[in-house]
Structure 1
Amino acid sequence: MDFQYEYLLLIPVGFIAGFLNTVAGGGTLLTLPTLILMGLPAPLANGTNRIAILVQTFTAVRGFKSKGVSSYPFSLYLGLSALVGSFIGAKLAIDIKGELFNRILAVIMILVLITILFNPKKNYTEIIEKTSGKPLYISLFIFFFLGIYGGFINAGIGFLMLLILPYVNGLSLLKSNATKVFVVFVYTIGAVIVFALEDKINYTLALTLTLGSASGAWFGSRWSVKKEDKVIRLFLVITVSSLAIKLWFF
């Protein structure tokens, strides 16, 4: 693909991914396959994508904070637990072979789609926050392993967090979203360090993707929070299915 066209493609893809990652999840299911299909080896595409994730989540955190939405210091505790796991996951991602990584990503994309399609609507208005004691310790344990997964591939992790936080800790969907982006921001710092030390980041493409993703995150953090928006779900199903099939046979 011509270099200039890569720039033109990455900005709108980044915007959509930043928006999706902020209001629900799944943005990596678009950006990572796009980078791979552009010709980047899997570890390089994975590392390049992390710069955009780091900036977009920071932007989203600021956006939620400007609306007075925060679960700090609870979100920090979870973030630090996930940060430890992210070093492990990122190292695994660098060592894995590209073809196997593509197959794993394709399977994860399909599994996330199933979660999107069959996760029923829940009532988030009749819940009580539980951010200390046993619920906190349970979440710290869970988020350590989520950090490993996030460091490894990150794809679809937002949906997992939006399933866990309301039921284990009683957070509203809005606070769950704000907590999610904060946690991802913290553990992505660890992943970026690992990928950078291994020289697995294309900074030119990363900054281009970041322009779009940060804008999408800023917009998404101010959007009405809807977990199962029909338009977003339909877009994800069509796009992610196509990319998963392409990756499997790539």
Structure 2
Amino acid sequence: MEIELWKVALLFAAGIASGWINVLAGGGSILSVPIMVFMGLPGPVANGTNRIGIIAQNIASVTTFFRKGFSDFKLSASLAACASVGAFFGANVGVKLDGVWFERTLALIMLGILIIMMTGAGQKPADQNGKARNLVLGHVLFIGAGFWGGFIQIGVGLIQIPILNRVMGLDLVRCNMHKVFIALVFSLVSLAVFAANVEIAWTFGFALAAGHFIGGWLGASSAVAKGEALIKKVFYLALVAMAVKLLFF
């Protein structure tokens, strides 16, 4: 694959946008992965290379949340361990990814999540002090979320947030605090699986990572400063945009 300056610059810019969207909601990879496919990378290679940017983004995000006083590493780590188990198996499926049915399935899942979130079905008041409930169920569900993250990555944040918010009762700022730590850990696992099975485009990955790092910092800062109102808006927009793209394009 020929490395041209415009490709590197485009991936850097896409990384900033993707990182910001990923931290506030999820689905940012729907920008970066198709761009790499457009540049000529095979699907599994683009899927694996994208993980480099995700890791950089979440390093920046976890650091920013911590510096602003938001952290619960004990819960984050236990959820990340469960997600990593799922990510290992998901990534082993993802290296062989082909076809469009996974996109249609994801679109239906996204629309279902959107309806649940907007209608308030099953909603209980979130604990503003960060105390989680339904710990066992939450950990079990994160095995499934990790599988999807290892499999395709796209939209995994849109799956994590409802688990943390609806099932475990955390406010959306703390949801994002945990989400970025969990994604950081299971993305390391999935990248290792992809690197062992496909040829990662490291130069493109590092260009994407530079943008993702900036986007992750901006996203975490926005989440803390603007709170739930901004997160909900970005979350809903990301869900709709992703579902429309997967179903019709």
Indicate if the aligned counterparts of 2:95 and 2:198 stay in contact, CA closer than 8 A.
no
Distance 2:90 2:220 in 1: 27
Distance verdict in 2 for CA 1:215–1:236, change over 3 Å: farther
State percent identity of aligned pairs: 31
Distance verdict in 2 for CA 1:163–1:174, change over 3 Å: same
**C-alpha offsets along residues 187-213 of structure 1, whole Å, 9 cap, x if unaligned?**
111101111112331000000111111
1:60 paired to 2:64: no
Measured after TM superposition, the shift of residue 170 of structure 1 is: 1.7
Measured after TM superposition, the shift of residue 72 of structure 1 is: 2.0
Indicate if the aligned counterparts of 2:103 and 2:246 stay in contact, CA closer than 8 A.
no
TM-score (norm 1): 0.84
**What are the residue-to-residue correspondences of 1:207-226 with 2, within 5 Å?**
207-223=206-222, 224-225=226-227, 226=230
**C-alpha offsets along residues 119-144 of structure 1, whole Å, 9 cap, x if unaligned?**
31768865375547xx2211111111
What's the secondary structure of 2:12's corresponding residue? helix
Distance 2:137 2:43 in 1: 33
Give the equivalent residue in structure 2 for 1:199. Answer: 198
Give the equivalent residue in structure 2 for 1:165. Answer: 164
- Unpaired segments of 5 or more residues in structure 2? none
Q: Which of 232, 236, 239 in structure 2 is aligned with 1:228?
A: 232
What's the secondary structure of 2:187's corresponding residue? helix
- Unpaired segments of 5 or more residues in structure 1? none
Distance 1:124 1:213 in 2: 33
**What are the residue-to-residue correspondences of 1:1-250 with 2, within 5 Å?**
3-96=4-97, 98=98, 100=99, 102-105=100-103, 108-109=106-107, 111-112=109-110, 115-116=113-114, 119-120=117-118, 126-127=126-127, 130-131=131-132, 135-223=134-222, 224-225=226-227, 226-229=230-233, 234=237, 237=240, 241=244, 245-246=248-249
Q: Which moved more, 1:32-41 or 1:210-219?
A: 32-41
Amino acid at match of 1:94: V
TM-score (norm 2): 0.85
Indicate if the aligned counterparts of 1:54 and 1:188 stay in contact, CA closer than 8 A.
yes
Measured after TM superposition, the shift of residue 158 of structure 1 is: 0.9
Measured after TM superposition, the shift of residue 241 of structure 1 is: 3.9
Q: How many residues align?
A: 240
Indicate if the aligned counterparts of 1:83 and 1:190 stay in contact, CA closer than 8 A.
yes
What's the secondary structure of 2:95's corresponding residue? helix
Alignment RMSD: 2.7
Distance 2:163 2:126 in 1: 16
